[in-house]
Amino acid sequence: MYEAKNFDHLLGTPGFSDQLLKNHFTLYQGYVMNTNKLNGLLDDLLKDEKTNTPEYAELTRRFGWEFNGMRLHEYYFDNMSKEPGAMDTNSKLAQKIISEFGSLANWERDFKAVATMRGIGWAILAYDETGDRLFNVWINEHDVGHLAGAKPLLVMDVFEHAYMLDYGVKRADYVTAFWHVIDWRGVEARF
């Protein structure tokens, strides 16, 4: 059974109204609740030997949506801070970014370009350990676009619920606000 994490410590984060954050926390809690509910329903269908039913198939597909919605929100909130501090440009992550993108500025420009693309989803800096590569990727609808085996390092929610209350349709302004509250220690620890 999954339990929703408490992210109330983010209330008062510059650039994010408390109402926006509270709404977002409630949405996240719904993903946790639905992950648990679907897991229970799937367990019941398995016990009742109903795994060859359309209900089982659709609930199994839906489970990925709810689980990834839960986990991506946890990464997102975990990589935010009211007192973030700057990226350590001598860290292993910063040096890897420079080796992959040529400079931190190039990487930032690329990440922000991904984050401001039209559509709903997530902008993620992902690390492929097997290939020892970093990628800025777009995850669509929680469950489409993940790089298999890649570890999410920096996760940014770019669904409208993450910014519309405070920024309207000005996603670029939200991206700028988010950039100022990234907890680089947490992002670097994932690497």
- The token duo for 104 is 């931190």
Query: What is the side-by-side order of every strand in the sheet holding 151-157?
Result: 133-139, 122-128, 151-157
Instruction: Judge whether residue 30 has pLDDT over 90.
Output: yes
CA dihedral 40, 43, 48, 51 (to 10 degrees): 120
Reference 156, options 108, 91, 98, 89; nearest CA is: 108
What pLDDT, on a 0 to 100 scale, did the predictor assign at position 185?
Answer: 93
pLDDT tens figures, 45-54: 999 999 999 9
Give CATH superfamily name and number for 92-190: Iron/manganese superoxide dismutase, C-terminal domain (3.55.40.20)
Q: What is the pLDDT of residue 147?
A: 87
- pLDDT on residue 1: 94
| Token representation of residue 92 | 């292993």
Q: What is the pTM of this model?
A: 0.94
pLDDT in tens, 126-146: 999 999 999 999 999 888 888
Distances (CA, A) of 53 to 45, 46, 97: 9, 10, 46
What percent of the chain clears pLDDT 90, i.e. is strictly above it? 93
Instruction: Kindly report, residue by residue over 88-106, the tens digit of the pLDDT.
Output: 999 999 999 999 999 999 9
> pLDDT grade, residue 85 (50/70/90)?
confident
State the Cα–Cα distance between residues 6 and 14, nearest whole angstrom: 19
Q: How many Å apart are CA 67 and CA 184, to the nearest integer?
A: 25
According to the model, what pLDDT value does residue 141 have?
85
The pLDDT value given to residue 99:
97
User: Per mean pLDDT, which range of 5-9, 135-139, 143-147, 165-169 is the poorest?
Assistant: 143-147
The predicted structure's pLDDT at residue 148: 87
pLDDT at position 25? 98
Average pLDDT value for the chain: 96
Please state the domain extents for the chain: 17-78, 92-190
Quickly state the pLDDT bin for 63 (edges 50, 70, 90): very high
Burial 67-86 (b: 16+ CB within 10 A, else e): bbbbbbbbbbbbbbbeebee
HSE-CB of 47 using CA atoms within 13 angstroms: 6
